């Protein structure tokens, strides 16, 4: 088995790199669950789960969680999540007549939350066996992990893992007697990385990888480009439905939520500049304009700039408005979009935050100089104070506001989870030859199917083409309805 390549992975995170990655992800996950209910007190028990012997009510001990006894609390959380994930529930109904994942042995590495649990239990209902671990050392909901373990899913995860724990858990998922995975569901690429590195032979049985994150997808494309990808992989990150929800629709709501929870700012009449008019920027602009803010846009791309004009926003350079705006929001994916020089010129009391990616957009490092005083006034809120007394309010230290200071609705997670489930079914059942050793986007028809499963939430009723109309349009009555390049 030759496609594994050390050099390839030499660019993979070192220990330090890994730590920083894990930290940047986990920060957001932790925050995003900060408002979730916490029913059980784990603080009384400092024993590492690795040192405990636990057994579920069925007599199995093939799992490792914080406290198996918390499973009832977790079950309730899962039940509540199920109410907003009807798409997966309707997939389960399929299981009554057919088991499209019968024989599938899925090893998964994702955030372990009530919503993921609904996904995992759907996979099981469709016929799969699952072993699961966490993609983030902070984000595991211990009660949910217990509930899954209680019903027989082999979960290895708890909140507050060390880095050593992290890789130990992954290893326990993959490396088990008499069970070899034939599908991988990954979020971030760490599980895939581990298998490549430690158990390359496992890939001989693997029918496909489903990857959810930008980072993981990027790694897969690099592998593919280098000719090192040895199984088909499905990029679910770039499906239309997921993209629109993760970016446009979700940010439209989370920008308001994030700003309110941290600063209680009134939006009406505020002057705001949004840097970047991509999907995220469009969502932020729409929401703030709708609530009475006066919004300016900066752009590098003239097409997006023209869209901003037609949507009613003045397109400016940041320096033109820096002295007058009350709020700056970065949504570019770029770095140093707001520089120290610009921060120096902001008004007293103005707010600066980031909705783009990672933490590079605002040059936060430049603010960590002796003449400026930092004052932490709330969680995620710092006042940076200039020598003349001017305060600039920095949110989440320049990290992603929507992940740090607001929550992701279950409905959005449902779209992602359903896309993952369908991608697994597609790869598992695809006839030989349909998918090669490459990275694929979800077929449009399946993207449409994900969307259709979510229409019931809105009591929306699709119109069906008549035979005559389908013929006139040259379409199959069941879709796909659009060419691949369609822009939506």
Q: Does 291 bind a second copy (CB under 8 A)?
A: yes
Instruction: Please identify, among the stretches 67-75, 104-112, 422-430, 463-471, the one whose residues bind a second copy according to the rule CB under 8 A.
Output: 463-471
Buried b (16+ CB within 10 A) or exposed e, 191-226: bbbbbbeeeeebbeebbbbbbbbebbbebbeebeee
In the complex, least distance from residue 468 CB atom to a second copy, rounded to whole angstroms: 7
| CB neighbour list of residue 359: distance below 8 Å, 6 or more residues apart | 24, 397, 398, 399, 400
Q: Does 301 bind a second copy (CB under 8 A)?
A: yes
Q: Does 253 bind a second copy (CB under 8 A)?
A: yes
**How far is the C-alpha of 11 from the C-alpha of 448, rounded, in Å?**
36
**Of the candidate residues 17, 266, 374, 438, the single one contacting a second copy (CB under 8 A):** 266
In the complex, least distance from residue 343 CB atom to a second copy, rounded to whole angstroms: 17
Residue 103 or residue 292: which is nearer to a second copy going by CB?
292
In the complex, least distance from residue 317 CB atom to a second copy, rounded to whole angstroms: 5
Residue 41 or residue 468: which is nearer to a second copy going by CB?
468
Q: Does 312 bind a second copy (CB under 8 A)?
A: yes
Instruction: Please identify, among the stretches 12-20, 133-141, 331-339, 363-371, the one whose residues bind a second copy according to the rule CB under 8 A.
Output: 331-339
**Of the candidate residues 143, 190, 299, 382, the single one contacting a second copy (CB under 8 A):** 299
Please tell me whether residue 345 adopts helix, strand or coil conformation: helix
**How far is the C-alpha of 282 from the C-alpha of 331, rounded, in Å?**
9
**How far is the C-alpha of 252 from the C-alpha of 26, rounded, in Å?**
23
**Of the candidate residues 304, 372, 385, 430, the single one contacting a second copy (CB under 8 A):** 304
**How far is the C-alpha of 77 from the C-alpha of 143, rounded, in Å?**
8
**Of the candidate residues 62, 171, 257, 344, the single one contacting a second copy (CB under 8 A):** 257
**Of the candidate residues 162, 201, 457, 476, the single one contacting a second copy (CB under 8 A):** 457
Q: Does 348 bind a second copy (CB under 8 A)?
A: yes
Q: 283 labelled as ligand-binding?
A: yes
Q: Does 222 bind a second copy (CB under 8 A)?
A: no
Q: Does 303 bind a second copy (CB under 8 A)?
A: yes
Residue 133 or residue 247: which is nearer to a second copy going by CB?
247
In the complex, least distance from residue 286 CB atom to a second copy, rounded to whole angstroms: 8
In angstroms, the Cα distances linking 377 to 31, 154, 263, 277, 355 are 17, 42, 10, 31, 21
Interaction residues for a second copy, span 90-109 (CB under 8 A): none
Q: Which two tokens stand for residue 160?
A: 């507050």
**Of the candidate residues 105, 289, 340, 357, the single one contacting a second copy (CB under 8 A):** 289
Instruction: Provide the angle, in degrees to the nearest 10, between the axes of the packed helices 86-94 and 444-455.
Output: 110
Residue 282 near residue 304, CB atoms below 8 Å: no
Beta strands 439-441 and 233-235: pairing type? Answer: parallel
Residue 162 or residue 324: which is nearer to a second copy going by CB?
324
In the complex, least distance from residue 50 CB atom to a second copy, rounded to whole angstroms: 32
| CB neighbour list of residue 341: distance below 8 Å, 6 or more residues apart | none
Could you tell me how many residues make up the chain? 488
Q: Does 305 bind a second copy (CB under 8 A)?
A: yes
Q: Does 35 bind a second copy (CB under 8 A)?
A: yes
Phi, psi of 410 (to 5 degrees): -55, -35
In the complex, least distance from residue 396 CB atom to a second copy, rounded to whole angstroms: 16
Residue 271 near residue 296, CB atoms below 8 Å: yes
Interaction residues for a second copy, span 128-187 (CB under 8 A): none
SS3 content of the chain, % helix, strand, coil (to 5): 45, 15, 40
**Of the candidate residues 118, 126, 234, 240, the single one contacting a second copy (CB under 8 A):** 240
What is the side-by-side order of every strand in the sheet holding 381-385?
314-315, 294-298, 271-275, 327-330, 350-354, 391-395, 381-385, 373-378
Q: Which residues sit in the known binding site for NAD(+)?
A: 278-283, 299, 402
Q: Which residues sit in the known binding site?
A: 113, 187, 212, 242, 246, 278-283, 299, 402
């Amino acid at each position: 088995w030759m496609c594994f390549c050390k050099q390839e992975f030499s660019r993979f995170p070192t220990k330090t790199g890994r730590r920083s990655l894990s930290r940047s992800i986990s920060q957001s996950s932790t925050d995003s669950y900060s408002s979730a209910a916490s029913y059980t007190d784990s603080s009384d028990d400092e024993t590492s789960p690795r040192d405990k012997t636990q057994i579920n009510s069925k007599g199995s001990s093939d799992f490792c969680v914080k406290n198996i006894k918390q499973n009832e609390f977790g079950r309730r959380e899962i039940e509540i999540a199920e109410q907003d994930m009807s798409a997966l529930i309707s997939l389960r109904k399929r299981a009554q007549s057919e088991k499209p994942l019968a024989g599938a042995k899925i090893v998964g590495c994702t955030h372990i939350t009530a919503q993921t649990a609904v996904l995992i239990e759907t996979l099981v209902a469709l016929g799969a066996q699952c072993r699961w671990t966490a993609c983030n050392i902070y984000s595991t909901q211990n009660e949910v992990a217990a509930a899954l373990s209680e019903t027989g899913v082999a979960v290895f995860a708890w909140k507050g893992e060390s880095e050593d724990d992290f890789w130990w858990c992954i290893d326990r998922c993959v490396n088990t007697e008499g069970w070899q995975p034939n599908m991988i569901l990954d979020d971030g690429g760490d599980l895939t990385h581990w298998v490549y590195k430690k158990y390359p032979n496992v890939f001989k049985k693997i029918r496909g990888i489903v990857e959810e994150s930008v980072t993981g997808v990027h790694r897969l494309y690099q592998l593919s480009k280098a000719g090192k990808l040895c199984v088909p992989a499905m990029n679910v990150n770039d499906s239309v439905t997921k993209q629109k929800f993760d970016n446009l629709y979700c940010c439209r709501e989370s920008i308001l939520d994030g700003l309110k929870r941290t600063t209680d700012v009134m939006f009406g009449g505020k002057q705001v500049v949004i840097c970047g008019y991509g999907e995220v920027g469009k969502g932020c602009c729409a929401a703030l304009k709708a609530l009475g803010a006066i919004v300016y846009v900066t752009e590098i791309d003239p097409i997006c700039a023209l869209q901003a004009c037609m949507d009613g926003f003045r397109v400016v350079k940041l320096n033109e408005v820096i002295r007058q705006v009350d709020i700056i929001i970065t949504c570019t994916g770029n770095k140093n979009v707001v520089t120290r020089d610009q921060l120096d010129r902001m008004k007293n009391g103005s707010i600066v935050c980031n909705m783009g990616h990672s933490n590079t957009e605002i040059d936060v490092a430049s603010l960590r100089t002796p003449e400026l005083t930092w004052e932490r006034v709330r969680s995620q809120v710092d006042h940076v104070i200039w020598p003349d007394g001017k305060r600039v309010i920095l949110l989440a230290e320049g990290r992603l506001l929507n992940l740090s200071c607001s929550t992701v609705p279950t409905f959005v997670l449902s779209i992602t989870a359903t896309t993952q489930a369908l991608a697994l079914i597609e790869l598992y059942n695809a006839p030989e030859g349909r998918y090669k050793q490459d990275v694929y986007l979800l077929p449009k028809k399946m993207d449409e199917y994900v969307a259709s499963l979510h229409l019931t939430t809105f009591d929306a009723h699709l119109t069906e083409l008549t035979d005559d109309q389908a013929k006139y349009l040259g379409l199959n009555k069941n879709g796909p309805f659009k060419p691949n390049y369609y822009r939506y």
